Structure 1
Amino acid sequence: MKILIADDHPLTLQGTKSFVESYKHTVIDTCSNGISALNYIQLHSPEVAILDINMPGLDGLDVARRIHEERIKTKVILLTMHKEMTIYKKAKKYNIYGYILKEHSNIELEKCLKEVKEGRCYVSEFLQENLIVATDNSNVELSKLSLSERKIVELIAQQKTSKQIAKMLFLSEKTIEGHRRNIIEKLGLPKEKNTLLVWAIQNVK
């Protein structure tokens, strides 16, 4: 199969590429962010795209959603560290073909690619026992946010400015400010100066 791989960690990207090639598949391109991945997929419709969920610009779920909405034939496999039920359910909505936990990818990727090649879906055998259902209040609040918004909140908790966040995520400062307003609204926070910063520091572990 002809496969695109996208991951923002160079070592993981190269490791995944080596694994895929050792299984006799062709890696036609690699990307370090979701925007490049989506652009390539829209232009070339590779058979399969292996996407990390956490990436700058667009995350893997954003890319999967766009592929689903635009009815592109590329089959998506998500490679992730996320074990939250909310994220897995969201991924299922976009008709992904594979969901593998990074910690088990060395033993599951080959199996997953075989299933996908046959047109079947593959979900990590380790996922069910590892799925985390949000229980504490901060997780419940965070589950109201999209992955992109959660990423921004994590960076706010690290006391990054909108300008710094924009640079890290390949977005404009104006877009980050828009996300901040949406996050404040979703979380029902008072519209006061630094309200989101205070909440993020208190609630993001």
Structure 2
Amino acid sequence: MANVIIADDHPFTLIGTKTFVESLGYPVIDLCNNGISAFNSIMSNRPGIAILDMSMPGMNGIEILEKLQQQRSVTKVVLLTMHKEVSIFTHAQKLGAKGYVLKEFATHELENCLMAIQKGECWFSPELTRMLVMDNTATPEDDKISTLTFTEKKILELVAAQYTSKEIGSLLFISEKTVETHRRNIIQKLSLPQEKNALLLWAVNNFGTK
């Protein structure tokens, strides 16, 4: 059985996942409650499998995947998440995620996912793969949004809710300066005019209701 690291910022979910994974016979060698410690643990312990929550302080699951890909890590990553957005799912696939399990179905799905990964296969929630097949109604706005990273989408969502850069930074555990850099990148990717409130208006009209 592969060694496993588990990361989740919710203590009950973290301990519950540990108990469940150990009951399947997998040795859990570390528990992490934020993205930075999870990434560092993966790099130092080199587990066979890392089960990561998508949304965590420090770094989210997608950002960890990006860094692991840059480092050519051999650890196989399973994202355990509540996010059902097809764009996030497909982005995780492109970054090399070997598993994508929805928390609401975790009791049934996680065991199958780990078994598949042990065999050298990928495993993704049937609910998500079904949604991917049915996702044939993309609009030009959807295409633009799909080019954004996970963090950029979260920032866009908060911009649509009319949070300031300082407030967004506090919510996402990043600096205001970093938020401003992300905002500039979003404006460039969405081909928006360099006008005051252009991003806010676009976010409210195209992203706030998604």
Shift of 1:173: 1.4
For 1:138 and 1:53, locate their aligned partners in 2 and report how far apart those are by CA, in whole Å.
24
For 1:158 and 1:20, locate their aligned partners in 2 and report how far apart those are by CA, in whole Å.
38
Any gaps of 5 or more consecutive residues in structure 2? none
For 1:184 and 1:31, locate their aligned partners in 2 and report how far apart those are by CA, in whole Å.
34
- Classify the secondary structure of the residue corresponding to 1:126: helix
Shift of 1:183: 0.7
Once the two structures are superposed, residues 6-59 of structure 1 have per-residue CA deviations (whole angstroms, 9 ceiling, x without a partner) of 233444333322321222323222323322211221222122111122334322
Q: Does 1:155 align with 2:126?
A: no
Shift of 1:116: 1.7
One-letter amino acid of the structure 1 residue matched with residue 23 of structure 2: S
User: For residue 138 of structure 2, what is the aligned residue in structure 1?
Assistant: 135
Shift of 1:192: 1.9
User: For residue 90 of structure 1, what is the aligned residue in structure 2?
Assistant: 91
For 2:38 and 2:4, locate their aligned partners in 1 and report how far apart those are by CA, in whole Å.
11
User: For residue 40 of structure 1, what is the aligned residue in structure 2?
Assistant: 41
Q: Does 1:183 align with 2:186?
A: yes
Are 1:50 and 1:76, in contact at CA under 8 Å, matched by a contact in 2? yes
Normalising by structure 1, we get a TM-score of: 0.87
The change in CA–CA distance for 1:137 and 1:54 in structure 2 (over 3 A counts) is farther
Are 2:86 and 2:131, in contact at CA under 8 Å, matched by a contact in 1? no
User: For residue 65 of structure 2, what is the aligned residue in structure 1?
Assistant: 64
Are 1:7 and 1:51, in contact at CA under 8 Å, matched by a contact in 2? yes
Normalising by structure 2, we get a TM-score of: 0.85
- Classify the secondary structure of the residue corresponding to 1:135: coil
For 1:140 and 1:7, locate their aligned partners in 2 and report how far apart those are by CA, in whole Å.
30
For 1:62 and 1:103, locate their aligned partners in 2 and report how far apart those are by CA, in whole Å.
23
RMSD: 2.2
Which residue among 191, 195, 202 is the counterpart of 1:199? 202
For 1:120 and 1:144, locate their aligned partners in 2 and report how far apart those are by CA, in whole Å.
27
Are 1:58 and 1:148, in contact at CA under 8 Å, matched by a contact in 2? no
The change in CA–CA distance for 1:138 and 1:8 in structure 2 (over 3 A counts) is farther
Are 1:56 and 1:168, in contact at CA under 8 Å, matched by a contact in 2? no
Shift of 1:177: 0.6
- Classify the secondary structure of the residue corresponding to 2:126: coil
For 1:199 and 1:35, locate their aligned partners in 2 and report how far apart those are by CA, in whole Å.
32
